[in-house]
Chain A
Amino acid sequence: MNVLDVRDLSVEIPTETGHVLAVDGLSYSVGESEILAIVGESGCGKSVGVLSLLGLGPEHARVTGEVNYAGQNLLTRKPDALRRVRGQDIAYIFQDPMTALNPLMPVGKQVEEVLAQHASMSRAERRARVVELFELVGIPAAAERARAYPHQLSGGMRQRVMISMAIACGPRVLIADEPTTALDVTVQAAILEILKDLRDKLGMAIVLITHDMGVVADIADRVVVMYAGRAIEEGGIEQVFRRPAHPYTRGLLSAVPVPGQRAARARLRGIPGTVPVIAESVDACTFADRCGRADEACRSGRPPLAEAAGGTRVACRHPETKESNGE
């Protein structure tokens, strides 16, 4: 059963140099205990997309579409109602745990704040709960750490604090926006383990935003690949990694050197050109200018998401059909 169902989400951001269509008709859904990864390069709209779900996107942004949660469209709800959803039903963790925590408030207090907002608990109960939460996410000496300020903790500990804050009220959906990008690999591994562990224990759905295919392979059940504001491929990770159908997905995968394949010394294949900035929804494939197989059809109509041979859904008129390893 889908916990969160996003339909045709578009986000338009006004800027000095005209507006930018950051997200263009994005649809996806995530089920209970499922980890959905949204992957893409910088500027593809993946972060803006999830922030806009609960009105946390850029100010003055125009958000259209439907965000269905618990039988209601969140985009049409009033700010007050939305606030009750935030932190309680749908919680976020962000990329940089240094800046995402208030530097002037002890971390324990910052976690207590969520509890004070959404749960009726006494102060003592809240404090006890914070220690419990800290222990759950693997923060040693929890009671003592709760009194620390963010700058006194390491990056990994700070991100654990963020996670404990997010799960404090037992949300049904956790949105993790590049949660490990600012961290070292060894710490990243630990944080990803914690997320998987929490998913298993608490059964929440996780929407994970990342640019790292390795992270996707590690933790996700399904993946949506975004390019220039659109979903261009979607599917279970087995399918997407084994038989990516969109040339861009393929490009992303072959652009990363694969560890252990050194002997082959296969040349990396980057994708020529750069990600375009989209001002308005165009009736064409936005990847056409960087794509080797683009033709007139690609430039004259927006390709719909359709079933591909490999079991993924792809927005491409000329999808790849071979297994990716066979190249």
Chain B
Amino acid sequence: MSEPNTAVAGGTGNGSADVPALHLKNLVKHYATRRGTVRSVDGVDLTIRKGEILGLVGESGSGKSTLGKLAVALAEPTSGSVVIDGTDVSRLSGRELRRRRKSFNIVFQDPGSSLNPRMTVGEAVAEPLRIHRIVERRGEARKVAEILDTVGLRPEIADRYVHMLSGGQRQRVSLARALAPEPTLLVADEPTSALDVSVQASVLNLIADLQHDLGFACLFISHDLAAVEYLADRVAVMYLGRVVEVADAESLFTRPLHPYSEILLKAAPLPDPDAQRTRERIVLGGDLPSPLNPPAGCRFHPRCPIAVDRCRTEEPELREIVRPGGATSSFACHLVDDQGVRPPLIADMPSG
């Protein structure tokens, strides 16, 4: 695997500004199931710099949620490493891992199940403070009120149970809880997709504001391209357990290099009839293959409109190029040349 040279090689060093907030090295997670081995994450290299939001997009079954869990040591990798602030946390266990959990945290998709129904909001937010001994008991209530205030909740809410809150409020509490120990890395796994459209906006705004104020690095996982475009500095695209493209958001959304990135972008309907109906359309044939048995060669080749023989046999490595304007992009596609040029996709394929 070639490593993006923006990353500090090896991820050594300590606390210096160059150490990435998160560095995933050749990360693999296979699950044994009754039907065989699911290759959920299958060799991912990814770096998140300090204070940056990296958007991770992909469809169901792409392994993006598993990647999120690996990144905060909620799952143990089959191989590879998860380096946070210079330390491989995937191999830590017990007390040391628990101590380190102060510096990275996660919020989940479903606000209905991500908070303990038997705890009040205050208890939920105070718990990480107690575990990591951040405030003394006396100052706890004040600290909790303060944290609730930063996520836009009134202090009275501390006495309520989760089932008394709306979805949006619950997601704010989740954020408050996750950010209470002031982590340097936050993984947000589809934090808005279970919410109503009108509520999604305020939660996206909140994440943007909090990130701006607190400066944590964020892995923002979503299938909602628009949300990712709104929030992320850089974007990674996953397909069947592999990252197929990483680029700054501007480049990715204006000129995607990998065919899958482009198809994904064009499949998301725009909330504007004129634009939506006049744009070039590419409808993917076939289905997402099973992660039990990913295709040989490039994993996308069975659905790729421009696949050639080489794609069927040889798996493309992630390559990095510097694009006009100085930004860098990484991609895993044989058909993109070093100038970032690739054959156009055939438009209007017959559906099915």
A: residues with CB less than 8 A from B are 41-42, 137-140, 154-157, 184-190, 192-194, 197, 211-218, 237-238, 241, 251-260, 262-263, 267-272, 274-275
Shortest beta-carbon contacts, A-B, top 6:
A138-B352, A214-B269, A270-B201, A270-B202, A257-B230, A255-B201
Q: Is the CB of B272 within 8 A of A258?
A: yes
Residue of A nearest to B198 (CB): A271
Number of A-B contacts (CB under 8 A): 145
CB <8 Å contact, A257 and B59: no
Offer 24 A-B interface pairs, CB within 8 angstroms, sorted by A: A41-B196, A41-B198, A42-B196, A184-B223, A186-B283, A187-B287, A188-B267, A189-B269, A190-B283, A213-B271, A214-B269, A218-B276, A218-B277, A238-B274, A241-B273, A255-B198, A256-B197, A256-B226, A259-B268, A259-B270, A260-B270, A262-B229, A268-B230, A270-B203
The residue of chain B having its C-beta at the shortest distance from the C-beta of A192 within the complex is: B269
Interface centre among A138, A185, A272 (most CB of B within 10 A): A185
* Residues of chain B within 8 A of A213, CB atoms compared: 197, 271
Task: Look across to chain B and name the residue whose beta carbon is closest to the beta carbon of A237.
Answer: B273
Nearest chain A residue, comparing its CB with the CB of B206: A270
Q: Is B267 a contact partner of A189 (Cβ separation < 8 A)?
A: yes
A260 to B226 Cα, complex, angstroms: 9
Q: How far is the CB of B165 from chain A (nearest CB, A)?
A: 10
B205 touches A268 (CB 8 A): yes
A218 to B281 CA separation, bound complex (whole angstroms): 11
- State whether the Cβ of B225 lies closer than 8 Å to any Cβ in chain A: yes
List the B residue with the shortest CB-CB distance to A218: B269
Contacting residue for B271 out of A140, A184, A253, A269, CB 8 A: A253
Interface size on B, residues (CB 8 A): 46
Most A Cβ at <10 Å: residue of B204, B229, B230, B271: B271
- Nearest Cβ in chain B — how far from A326, in angstroms? 14
B198–A270 touching, CB < 8 Å: yes
Q: Is the CB of B287 within 8 A of A194?
A: no
Instruction: Provide the bound-state CA to CA distance between A308 and B220, in Å.
Output: 41
CB pair B60–A217 under 8 Å, yes or no, is no
Chain B, 281-297, contact with A by CB distance < 8 Å: what is the 0/1 string? Answer: 10110011000000000
Q: Assess whether B264 is interfacial by the CB under 8 Å rule.
A: yes
B131 is an interface residue with CB less than 8 A from chain A: no
Chain B residues within 8 Å of A251, by CB: 198
B350 to chain A, nearest CB (A): 8
A208 and B95 CA atoms in complex are apart in Å by 54
Q: Is the CB of A193 within 8 A of B230?
A: no
Cα of A271 to Cα of B201 in the assembled complex, Å: 8
B276 touches A274 (CB 8 A): no
Q: A258-B270, A259-B253 are in contact. List 13 more A-B contacts (CB 8 A).
A: A184-B60, A185-B59, A186-B59, A190-B352, A215-B269, A217-B271, A217-B272, A253-B271, A257-B201, A262-B249, A270-B201, A272-B202, A274-B166
- Is the beta-carbon distance between B198 and A138 smaller than 8 angstroms? no
A257 partner residues in chain B, CB cutoff 8 A: 201, 204, 226-227, 229-230
- B272-A211 in contact (CB<8A): no
Name the B residues within 8 Å of A215 (CB-CB).
269
